[in-house]
A and B are shown apart, each in its own frame.
Chain A
């Protein structure tokens, strides 16, 4: 049995390889590609059917987009309102400018609780701030309770999708991980049996661990409420049974009013999992005596979001409600899966979000991980024009490189400079064509194709053939044809 991935995937953008290199192991792993393609085809088919039956889909998208844009345009107002209402309801609001501060706040809260164990609801924001490793380093055992996150945690793997994070793992791989880590030798690879094993494994944790950490799908400014959207009930367990609950949420997650959920809940499940509604959605407000955790903390995370907010084209990135429809629709993601993006946020949204979270200092290859086909924009329930942002970020990457001194050693830069020089004069262009035809003729096979090139050219011919240059250029052919035409006309006279 081949294993999940060749090596432990690197999802820290400061350490990850550029996208084209990171994608190679996946492109060479047919099992992984099959797992990814299968999962995506299933979600896409379900989503397509349910969006089609919704006759007001475009109106819902328009409303969802407008609500999110309005919330961002007035973010300071709504954040303060959320803080006031949440505090009045018995919650405590903390503010973290960056990942390190958020980790420290959470760690301090856990120490106050004397926590040695925490149960966790799936939250990509906690992966963004690399929370689990820092908790483990502080001696706190972390139990992921979402089935997919559990598979990844026990298998020492990383998420490759933001809604179904283990979609790259198939049932026999899950069986192998569970059998090994839960000590269940006779476990079958039937998803029903695997799910039951997870239920049994986690039940005691839900009932005994007094501290939980989760994320937020939405924060409601009007009421100070928090909303978590899920399927399995692990979220409800973590939100209900522990004594203390810590919610980590990006500052952009705020919605003005409770009623805005009438739009968001209609578009989210359809876009994310192709369901009319996800099985469970929970809303709570601060602390309710006698019901659920009696100590409740919200950590509001900035981590570059406030600077993304200040850039007119990029601001729309923050409208995202993390449904993952863009990655399910993306032809690039379908081939490479999520790990190649070197970030907890893969796919088209990751390609625009990750470099911005990194202040354009890392992950600069991601804006190029797209064919700009626009499928992501078309499916986005909050109408983020991802291609527009991709192009803008590409311009920023190019501007960065323009300022680099060692650009003179970059073959791409030199090639572009050379092309600029050649294309600027008809004489030089024709000379280059003649030289090129002579040069390439040594590599062109009898069938008219170039199968292998040396040096830089090998990057192309490694994975595909190149059409050889024709024996004459269009200009030559046109000139010759015109000459013949004149000749014929003269004869006809």
Chain B
């Protein structure tokens, strides 16, 4: 068994010989990269209205529930969604607007809110998150073409575990966050994010006879509130 550093050198040397590359540390393939063909569709052509419609349609095709509301109606809509879920123990990331929880807590009796304040050292334990029946978060972006929601795990979107263990996920997405194509989403990432979860509908499998079954290990229920910002 060779030492790791030797294996590293051996692999890199073999790769260099095979690709006729130099070991010059100043070598930069940037110009070759810039010349790569990228003639696929980058920008969508739909109107803002049609783009939102497509996003909703695609989310529903995946089996996600979608409701629309105005910015003022967000807290009440969240409360209504929580009440209709039949669940009582919820978690949310610490960065979400306080009004989201206050209204819900005020309207529903027996509702339990747990804020995950891991950024200030008061994070919930895995057991506490596992006990929660639902989670409410924001998102970074929505991609209409594929009905995809991109979560970058900021303080409003929560740690990864938060949107993973609870069976029911309510995601608040603003119309202004919705783009038509995947390349447009990448255009909005000015700095590459270090954590991303791209979600396209609830967890699913087709491993048994190609029959699509909703809900394996991730949340089985995905609800989206699409907020119509004034233009």
A383 to chain B, nearest CB (A): 12
Q: Are B200 and A283 in contact (CB under 8 A)?
A: no
Q: How far is the CB of B83 from chain A (nearest CB, A)?
A: 26
Q: A39-B210, A276-B145 are in contact. Are A70 and B216 (CB under 8 A)?
A: no
Listed A/B pairs (24) with beta-carbon separation below 8 Å = A59-B37, A62-B39, A63-B39, A67-B36, A73-B32, A74-B21, A89-B194, A94-B4, A146-B207, A191-B213, A192-B213, A199-B217, A206-B217, A232-B205, A233-B217, A236-B160, A251-B11, A259-B192, A261-B186, A266-B182, A276-B146, A279-B204, A285-B195, A310-B19
Q: Would you call B14 and A232 a contact (CB within 8 A)?
A: no
Looking at B118, B147, B194, which has the most chain A CB atoms within 10 Å of its CB? B194
List chain B residues, Cβ under 8 A from A170: 208-209
Most buried by A among B119, B164, B202: B164
A55–B145 alpha-carbon span in the complex (Å): 13
Interface class of chain A by DSSP: helix
Name B209's contact: one of A38, A66, A100, A310 (CB within 8 Å). Answer: A38
CB atoms of A74 and B19 under 8 A apart:
yes
- In the complex, whether A292 has a CB less than 8 A from a CB of chain B is yes
A164 and B33 contacting across the interface, CB-CB below 8 Å: no
| Cα-based distance from A96 to B14 in the complex (angstroms) | 13
Contacts of A39 in B (CB 8 A): 209-210
Q: Are B209 and A240 in contact (CB under 8 A)?
A: no
Contact partners of A42 in chain B: CB under 8 A: 206, 210
B1, B14, B164, B201: which contacts A104 (Cβ < 8 A)?
Answer: B1
- Cβ 8 A contact of A273, one of B206, B213, B218: B206
- Report the nearest A residue to B8, measured CB to CB: A95
Any chain A CB within 8 A of the CB of B109?
no
Known A174-B208, A307-B18: A233·B218 in contact at CB below 8 Å: yes
Report the Cα distance A225→B215, complex, angstroms: 27
Q: Is the CB of A276 within 8 A of B203?
A: no
Binary contact readout A277-300 vs B (1 if CB under 8 angstroms, 0 otherwise): 111111111101011100000001
Is the CB–CB distance between B210 and A237 below 8 Å? no
Q: Measured between alpha carbons, how far is A66 from B40 in the docked complex, in Å?
A: 13
Instruction: Closest A residue to B25 by CB, please name it.
Output: A80
CA distance A55 to B45 in the complex (A): 13
Residue B67 CB within 8 A of the other chain: no
Q: How far is the CA of A366 from the CA of B38 in the complex (A)?
A: 35
Whether A232 and B204, one on each chain, are in contact in the complex, defined by CB atoms closer than 8 angstroms, is: yes
A76 within 8 A of B: yes
B37 engages A66 (CB within 8 Å): yes
B223 at interface, CB cutoff 8 A: no
Contact A207 B130 (CB under 8 A): yes
For the complex, give the distance between the alpha carbons of A76 and B202 in Å. Answer: 39
Q: Is A140's beta carbon under 8 Å from chain B?
A: no
CA of A100 to CA of B206, assembled, Å: 34
Is B47 positioned at the interface, with any CB of A under 8 Å from its CB? no
Distance A245 CA – B110 CA, assembled complex (angstroms) = 39
Specify which of B40, B193, B217 is in contact with A237 (CB 8 Å cutoff): B217
Nearest CB of chain B from residue A102's CB, rounded to whole Å: 10
Q: Which residues from 148 to 174 on chain B have a C-beta closer than 8 Å to any C-beta of chain A?
A: 148, 153, 159-161, 164
A118 interface residue per 8 A CB criterion: no
Are A77 and B21 closer than 8 Å at their CB atoms? yes
Asked if A56 and B208 make an inter-chain contact with CB atoms under 8 angstroms apart, the answer reads no
Nearest Cβ on chain A to B116's Cβ, whole angstroms: 10
Other than A95-B11, A279-B62, give 18 A-B pairs with Cβ distance below 8 A.
A62-B39, A76-B12, A77-B29, A79-B15, A80-B12, A97-B2, A100-B1, A191-B208, A225-B194, A231-B203, A241-B164, A259-B186, A277-B146, A278-B200, A279-B204, A280-B203, A283-B193, A284-B195
Closest 4 CB pairs of A and B: A233-B218, A310-B18, A233-B217, A258-B192
Residues of chain B within 8 A (CB-CB) of A231 are: 203-206, 216
- B85 on the A face (CB < 8 A): no
- Selected from B161, B186, B217, the residue in CB contact (under 8 A) with A232 is B217
B130 CB contacts on chain A under 8 angstroms: 207
Q: How far does the Cβ of A454 sit from chain B's closest Cβ, in whole Å?
A: 44
Tell me the complex Cα distance, A94–B21, Å. Answer: 22
Number of A-B contacts defined by CB within 8 Å: 260
Chain A residues with CB under 8 Å of B14's CB are 302, 306-307, 310
Q: B171 to nearest A CB, angstroms?
A: 14
**Cβ of A95 and Cβ of B216 under 8 Å apart?**
no
Q: State which size class the interface on A falls in.
A: 35 or more
A306 lies within 8 A of B216 (CB): no
A142 to B17, CA, bound (A): 38
Interface size class of B (residues with CB under 8 A): 35 or more
Name the contact of B58 in the complex, choosing from A232, A276, A306 (C-beta under 8 A). A276
Query: In the docked arrangement, what's the CA distance between A169 and B210, Å?
Result: 11
Cα A309 to Cα B199 with chains together (Å): 35
Tell me, yes or no, whether A223 is within 8 Å of chain B by CB. yes
**Which residues of chain A have C-beta atoms less than 8 A from B38's C-beta?**
63, 263
Given the interface pairs A280-B199, A306-B11, the reply to whether A59 lies near B39 with Cβ below 8 Å is yes
A276 touches B206 (CB 8 A): no
Is B87 on the interface with A (CB-CB < 8 A)?
A: no
With A38-B209, A279-B202, A285-B195 in contact, is A72–B19 under 8 Å at CB?
yes
Instruction: Given A170-B209, A192-B213, A199-B216, decide whether A95 and B200 contact each other with a Cβ distance below 8 A.
Output: no
Could you mark each residue 36-72 of chain B with 1 if its beta carbon is under 8 Å from any beta carbon of chain A, else 0?
Answer: 1111110000000000000000100010000000000
- Near B by CB (< 8 A), chain A positions 222-278 give 222-223, 225, 231-234, 236-237, 239-241, 251, 256-259, 261-263, 265-266, 273, 275-278
Query: Once bound together, how far apart are the Cα atoms of A43 and B4, in whole Å?
Result: 42
Evaluate contact between B207 and A148: CB separation under 8 angstroms.
Answer: yes
In the complex formed, the residue of A with least CB distance to B16 is A76
Q: What are the residues of chain A within 8 A of B146 when measuring CB–CB? A: 276-277
The chain B residue sitting closest to A302, CB to CB, is B11
Query: 1/0 contact trace for A443-480 toward B, CB 8 Å?
Result: 00000000000000000000000000000000000000
Bound CA–CA A163/B41 (angstroms): 27
A273 to chain B, nearest CB (A): 7
Contact A288 B194 (CB under 8 A): yes
A194 at the interface (CB under 8 A from B): yes
A131 within 8 Å of B (CB atoms) = no
How far is B3's CA from A101's CA once the two chains are assembled, in angstroms?
10
A198 at the B interface (CB under 8 A): yes
* A contact residues around B143 at 8 Å (CB): 277
Least CB distance, B198 to chain A, in whole angstroms: 4
User: Do A232 and B159 touch across chains, with their CB atoms under 8 A apart?
Assistant: no
B189 at the A/B interface (Cβ < 8 Å)?
yes
B123 interfacial by beta-carbon distance below 8 Å: yes
Q: Tell me the nearest residue of chain A to B1, going by C-beta.
A: A104
Q: How far, in whole Å, are A100 and B1 apart by their CA atoms in the complex?
A: 9
